[in-house]
């Protein structure tokens, strides 16, 4: 028996003791080790909706933006590839890049902090280079800064 079924069964037993067997609410609350307020709430639910009203209600809340399939896809996209596979210009995954990837590929709009929490949930973290490459070519850097970078920004 599930816990929700056990809780519903307990509620029904308490209401049954009060309604059918005419026992006092305070005695039933003491015997079942619950508060008197709960007993009266359950009685009110029973009177307004019958036995079905004593069942657990579905959990409500804001619907999730990212489904399990989206999370699986994102994990595989990040671990199996790089941003250049998705026509991004830089080859490191950043929060901003992942935000744009989700919006572009899955039509999911998330903030950078939400993406950070999502990555943490997946066991990943955005990476920053710790040091500059010692194999830098000053000529290529100048070409990048004068030609490639302005085109990418535009």
Check residue 128 and give its pLDDT: 64
Predicted confidence band of residue 129 (pLDDT cuts 50, 70, 90)? low
Q: Quick: pLDDT tens for 51-89.
A: 888 887 766 788 889 999 999 999 999 988 888 888 888
Q: What is this structure's pTM?
A: 0.49
Check residue 125 and give its pLDDT: 78
Mean pLDDT taken over the chain: 86
- For 13, list phi and psi in degrees, rounded to 5: -65, -40
CA separation for the pair 79, 46 (Å, rounded): 53
Check residue 130 and give its pLDDT: 59
Q: Quick: pLDDT tens for 25-48.
A: 999 999 999 999 999 999 999 999
Q: Which tokens belong to 5?
A: 């079924």
Percent residues over pLDDT 90 in the chain: 38
Q: What is the mean pLDDT of residues 5-18?
A: 90
Residue 91 CB contacts under 8 Å (≥ 6 apart), including other chains: 82, 83, 84
Check residue 134 and give its pLDDT: 64
CA separation for the pair 100, 108 (Å, rounded): 9
Pick left, alpha or beta for residue 137 (phi over 0 → left; psi -120 to 50 → alpha; otherwise beta). Answer: beta
| pLDDT score of 109 more than 90 | yes
Can you give the residue ranges of every domain in the chain? 3-54, 68-153
């Amino acid at each position: 028996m599930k816990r929700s079924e056990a809780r519903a069964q307990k509620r029904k037993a308490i209401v049954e003791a009060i309604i059918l067997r005419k026992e006092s609410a305070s005695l039933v609350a003491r015997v079942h080790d619950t508060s008197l307020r709960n007993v009266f709430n359950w009685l009110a639910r029973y009177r307004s909706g019958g036995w079905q009203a004593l069942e657990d209600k579905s959990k409500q809340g804001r619907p999730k933006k990212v489904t399990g399939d989206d999370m699986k896809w994102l994990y595989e996209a990040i671990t199996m590839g790089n941003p250049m596979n998705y026509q991004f210009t830089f080859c490191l995954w950043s929060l901003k890049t992942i935000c744009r990837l989700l919006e572009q590929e899955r039509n999911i709009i998330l903030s950078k902090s939400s993406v950070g929490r999502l990555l943490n949930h997946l066991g990943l973290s955005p990476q920053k280079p710790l040091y500059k490459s010692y194999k830098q070519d000053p000529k290529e850097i100048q070409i990048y800064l004068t030609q490639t970078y302005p085109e990418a920004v535009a």
